[in-house]
Amino acid sequence: MSTQTFLDPYRHGSPHDVARQVAAHVLSGPHVSILSTTNADGSPQASVIFVARDGDGDDILFSTIVGRRKTSNMQRDPRVNLLVHSLPGADGGPTYATIAGTVELTDDPDGAYHRTMYALHMDGATPPPEPGAQRLTVRLRPTRTYAPPPYDPTA
């Protein structure tokens, strides 16, 4: 039995600036995004959502509806975690990053941002009608970004 200590390269991940670049890279191509919030009882809650970067900055925007569990959770506790993962067939670059931060929710009375996101992620389609839905735009302000270190098959 070896007495050598295993140093897991995934424990700390890539340096912060590299992790931010990985997240931006994943978000710039086809990807899936999973938002994690915390339920009132402390248990986790996860939702697949459409997201986009706010221009060239680090903030991430998405749309939600008042009354949904993720929305209630974010209104109660604005701390969230977002996993962004490249889809198969992407360019072969880094495959995922996680982005932790806090959210700000603002009214989107006519659902304009939701329509923009839907068109972006659904190939130009118009979203189905949502009679009575109260749309919100959510801004995620990252406080920590993680990306795995590059794979080294010789290590």
Ranges of each domain in the chain: 16-146
Q: Which pLDDT score, from 0 to 100, does residue 84 have?
A: 96
* Bridge pairing between strands 79-86 and 60-65: unpaired
Q: Is the pLDDT of residue 90 over 60?
A: no
Joined together, the tokens standing for residue 121 give 């992620």
Q: Give the pLDDT confidence of 106-138 residue by residue, as tens digits.
A: 999 899 999 998 888 888 888 888 899 999 999
Q: Is the pLDDT of residue 93 over 80?
A: no
Q: Which pLDDT score, from 0 to 100, does residue 1 have?
A: 58
Joined together, the tokens standing for residue 32 give 């899936």
CATH for 16-146? 2.30.110.10
Q: Which pLDDT score, from 0 to 100, does residue 120 have?
A: 87
Tell the burial category of 40 from Cβ atoms under 10 Å away from its Cβ (0-12, 13-18, 19+): exposed
Q: Give the pLDDT confidence of 35-69 residue by residue, as tens digits.
A: 999 999 999 999 999 999 998 889 999 999 999 99
Q: Is the pLDDT of residue 27 over 80?
A: yes
Q: Is the pLDDT of residue 155 over 70?
A: no
- Indicate if the alpha-carbon torsion angle 145, 26, 21, 59 is positive or negative: negative
Q: What is the dihedral of CA 26, 145, 83, 113, to 10 degrees?
A: -70
DSSP β-bridge partners for residue 84: 33, 97
Q: Which pLDDT score, from 0 to 100, does residue 152 have?
A: 65
